[in-house]
Amino acid sequence: MSSSIYKTLFLCLILPATFSVSAADKKKEEEVVKVPLYQGLQIGFDLVSPAGYLISDSYGASIKADINLWNKYFPTVELGYADFNKTSEDGINCTSSGQYVKVGINKALSYGGNKAENLFFAGIHYGFSTFSYNLDNLVYYPNYWGANSDINSLQDQKATTGWIELVAGVRVLVFGPISLGWTAQYKSTLHVSNGENSIPAYIPGYGENFKPKLGMAFHLYYKLPF
């Protein structure tokens, strides 16, 4: 009987202390993982588009920026320019050039480092481009433009396009403020304002005009020192 009383008293003294320590540890852990709102600004430079002149029908350049919020959300904006020049098998030549902008937000799915220096993310972006294009060496069926038509080119056609991008990618710290990253893109046009008498074959920032479309981007990033 005496032994049972001692055990009861022991538990009454120890259990509250144990719960108190556990609560304190939990509170301390919550304080440790609390992340401030602003965690830095990264500037990204497209590595592939400038080299496109040597390996494809299009080339260009772009620069992007994203802000790290809580190591969780990354609002991003990208500005770019693209130029396209391609001749089809039947001799029709298409050129297209213009600016584009993309805005969106990425969310960290996992990260490493105090400021998410190594990052795996997914996001959604909206792209918009206003541009001009030309079509030369056109071939029409008889009377397509009327019996006396001699049209064989369409010059300075104007168009605007908006599209959606679903993205997933990684960014890896190389050294200091320098990181490298790649992004996979699933694209689909939302609205296309065609030229007066034609449809654009290429959309700056989007690519050839069909949907859906897959893409890939590679960037060199520099983290600003503030």
The SS3 of residue 145 is coil
Side-chain-facing half-sphere of 109: CA atoms under 13 Å: 9
Q: Which element (helix H / strand E) includes 184?
A: strand 178-193
pLDDT confidence bin for 11, thresholds 50/70/90: very low
Its pTM stands at 0.79
- In one-letter notation, the amino acid at residue 114 is N
User: Contact, 98 vs 129, CB < 8 A?
Assistant: yes
User: Contact, 64 vs 42, CB < 8 A?
Assistant: no
Which overall architecture, per CATH, does domain 36-223 show?
Beta Barrel (2.40)
What mean pLDDT comes out for the span 183-202? 92
Q: Per-residue pLDDT for 32 more than 80?
A: no
Helices and strands counted in the chain (H then E)? 2, 10
pLDDT of residue 207: 93
Among the ranges given (32-36, 122-126, 134-138), the one the predictor scored with the smallest mean pLDDT: 32-36
Q: What percent of the chain has pLDDT over 90?
A: 63
Domain edges within the chain: 1-34, 36-223
Which residue would you say has higher pLDDT here, 164 or 138? 164
- Residues 46-98 pLDDT 10s: 998 888 767 778 889 999 999 999 999 999 999 999 999 998 887 889 999 99
pLDDT of residue 9: 46
Phi, psi at 69, each rounded to 5°:
-115, 115
Phi, psi at 21, each rounded to 5°:
-65, -45
Q: Per-residue pLDDT for 8 more than 70?
A: no
What mean pLDDT comes out for the span 123-151? 77
